Structure 1
Amino acid sequence: MWSSLITPTFLFLSFFSVELAPNPGSATDENDSYPPFWDQINGDIAEFPVQNNKTIIDPWKYIDRLKMYKILIEKSNRYFAGFGKNKTDNVLWALTLYYGQLYETDRFSEPPNSSVCAYDAGAPGCLSINSGWGNINFYVIIPYFLAAIESEFLKDLPYQVELVSREEYRSDFCYSIAECRASYPQTMDLANRFYQYLLSREITSIIKDVPHYNIDEDTVVLYMWEAHQAGIDIGTSKFSDVSFYASETERDFSMDFLVTIEFLEAALYRPYFESSAKILVGFPHRLLTDQDRIVLTRNFNIREKALLTLVKLTSEINKLTGGAFFTIWKKVMNLKPARSVARFLVRRLLLIPIS
């Protein structure tokens, strides 16, 4: 029954993308897409302080989580050399750019006083433990980083890593390999699978002194997204309560956005730098207020309004079908031609050049 929704939705997206074509000058500047303070860190574990022969990482500081993202990208870049140029086709870029966007749009701030832990262009700040976005993101980066250590993808570390915990809601978080594995073994296994796959790859050719590995693109993208979704599932199950958000409208948008991401994941959407940056062009530049539920103010541009409309539509269709829409979507996406069509339509919608 619900399978009949797939074709109308494809047609809607195609029509929608044509209607929302922006002016030629609206393209995203790549330099503006990097997370704030990206060029001020090296992606080296030695950047963290050492105390009592332990590397100390505070996951409630924006810059410390950013360093974790950059370490993972720097250590895995060599495996994706055959995917593209300038190290922009690493599959971890989607998670990294999204993290920076959340910080830059004040979604790690303290509700309802968004001036606390707010974005500061002059110096990296904090992540509020009362931010729903920040808490969900915790379960995106922390299992990924700890699994990189557990799997020995990050090997020969000079010191044991210690994550600084917060007393608030202590039981809602895991701060070590042992804690995360005890509480969320499946999530740790999925993150480990991603790294083990990379470690198992062999060099098939060397082009201009750069080794290329025998990586299957669909497989590595699938493994990345499945580990990511496992972390999101933990976070949303714990932190979807409205009390963690600046407004109910913002809460609803966050849940709708994450549902839409699941549809992209099922299509094995390519999570590289350019494609991820173009998705985030439409990400709302500020926290939504309950007034925005009535009417979006003029300071939201056409791309933001388009994304807000799309994620609401996708989520509402899924709710109306009792989740059957997503179930059918996943089955259809098992077919490679269908995935290609879905990614094509998404790129049309987001105005990403087809390569």
Structure 2
Amino acid sequence: MMAFSLLWVCILIIFFSVSIAEKPNISALYPPRWKESPDHFNKYKLQNGKYVIYPWLYIERLGMYRILLIRTAKYFERFGEDNEQNPLWGLPLQFGWQYNTGRLADPTRRTECGYESDPLCVSEDSWWADLNYFLCIPPVLAAVDVGIMGISSDQVEILLPPTNGTKFCHSVSSCFSSHPELMRKWKTFFQLIQSPFISFDDLLMYLWTAHASSIENVYKTFEDRFAYYSNSEVDFQKSWFNAVKYLAIIRFHTTMTRVHGFQESLPPRILTNEDKAPFIKDFSGSQNILIYVLTSLEKVDSTSDLTSPSNDKTKSEDLSSYDLHNSQVRYLQMTDDDNDERAEHILVQ
């Protein structure tokens, strides 16, 4: 069943990647307001010798991604020009899609956060914003800890949201304390990108391992947010979480053009209870197909023995990985110990 589901995902990726075969204008693919965001830590407020960042403002969280892309650019020069092949592009591009489609706004409508009068506000009640937090703050802090961000861990202060701050880590020490596994995986990735001996495919493997760990560690923490959305949007949220394991298995290239092209087929707004894919009238054919296939896969997985968001076995170390070679899927059982041993071997070269 996993192989069949994986085949469907591979077909989707190929289908939705056809339109981006030609080299695009890179600047046209940036996330919204990219050039307005900070490109250096000195663009943030400096208080008591620390750069103070409030990630509950879109521009300030986006700036963390921008600095991360700038500081890691030199490690990906050998894979392509203009930093386009930097696989970290997937993180800010996904955040930008969430912003463009209203998914960072307050789903309860108790506040104006994210709406017309306060468009740059990122709501702590947004399921998308909360999971994205752990795809931004821990990676950036892990990069700081490794030493590639140009500042030390005691030079940055991440501000917590107005309420429920205990759900979020906000420093290198607090993130390692509350989420040691995901921090270790991000730290390993940032150590490995500095090695001239590692392949791009292997980097993708370690990136996706860290990515999956980030959201798996906090998925249940924010399940209460589902109550704020329509059933159709919740189904899509669960299917998007479930799809990560498939994207990890095939090591989807999270480069700028690949991610931008793929996101053209994501829903352009929050789903309502009236939206039933593949028959959503104001969505394109590819958007309808993607929603339908991903939600169908999640329903199949959640009723089988496969890992799923509702299954306590959902851990990155339980996921099997597949190597696609000559159009064949070759099963490889990889554990965290295997990955750690492999990483250590690369780092000592």
TM-score relative to the length of structure 2:
0.81
Relative distance call for 1:291 and 1:144 in structure 2 (3 A) is same
Alignment of 1:178-197 (within 5 A): 178-197=173-192
Q: What's the CA shift string for 1:185-235, capped at 9, x where partnerless?
A: 111111111111123x2xxxxxxxxxxx43311221111111111111123
Opposite residue 102 of structure 2, the aligned amino acid is: D
- Aligned equivalents of 2:12 and 2:144: distance in 1? 46
CA contact (8 A) 1:165 1:175 kept: yes
In the alignment, does 2:245 pair up with 1:262? yes
The yes-or-no answer on 1:90 pairing with 2:86 is yes
Query: Could you say what secondary structure the match of 2:52 adopts?
Result: strand
Look up the equivalent residue of 1:280 and give its one-letter code.
Q
Find the counterpart in structure 2 of residue 345 from structure 1: none
Aligned to 2:41: 45
Alignment gaps of 5+ in structure 2: 309-313, 330-349
User: Does residue 234 of structure 2 align to residue 251 of structure 1?
Assistant: yes
Q: Quickly say closer, same or farther: Cα 1:109–1:157, change in 2 above 3 A.
A: same
Distance of 1:295 and 1:269 partners within structure 2: 24
1:337 aligns with 2:314: no
The residue number in structure 2 matching 1:152 is: 147
Secondary structure of 2:32's counterpart equals: coil
**Equivalent position amino acid for 2:209 in 1:** E
Amino acid at match of 2:69: I
1:346 corresponds in structure 2 to none
After TM superposition, give the deviation of residue 23 of structure 1 in Å.
9.4
On the 8 A contact 2:114/2:123 being kept in 1, the answer is no
The unaligned stretches of length 5 or more in structure 1 are: 202-212, 343-355
Would you say how many aligned residue pairs link Structure 1 and Structure 2?
321
Structure 1 runs of 4+ with >6 Å offset = 15-18, 20-24, 324-327
Q: What's the offset of the Cα at 1:292?
A: 1.3
Structure 1 residue 8: Cα displacement: 7.8
Distance 1:284 1:146, change over 3 A: same
**Match 2:217 to one of 234, 244, 250:** 234
Paired residue for 1:10?
7
Q: How far is the alpha carbon of 1:319 from its aligned partner?
A: 2.0
Q: Deviations over 1:134-166 (max 9, x none)?
A: 011111111001111112122345971011112
Residue number in structure 2 paired with 1:112? 108
Q: Are residue 285 (structure 1) and residue 278 (structure 2) matched?
A: no
Q: Is the Cα contact below 8 Å between 1:108 and 1:133 reproduced in 2?
A: yes
Larger relative contact order (Cα-Cα within 8 Å, sequence gap ≥ 6): 1
- Please give the alpha-carbon distance, in whole angstroms, between the structure 1 residues aligned to 2:248 and 2:241: 10
Q: 1:242 to 1:135 in 2, by over 3 A?
A: closer
Q: CA RMSD in A?
A: 3.4
Equivalent-residue separation in structure 2 for 1:114 and 1:303 (angstroms): 34
Aligned-partner residue type, residue 89 of structure 2: W
Which residue of the partner structure matches residue 206 of structure 1?
none
CA deviation vs aligned residue, 1:75-99 (integer Å, no higher than 9, x gap): 1111111212221000101111101
1: CA distance, partners of 2:328 / 2:254: 16
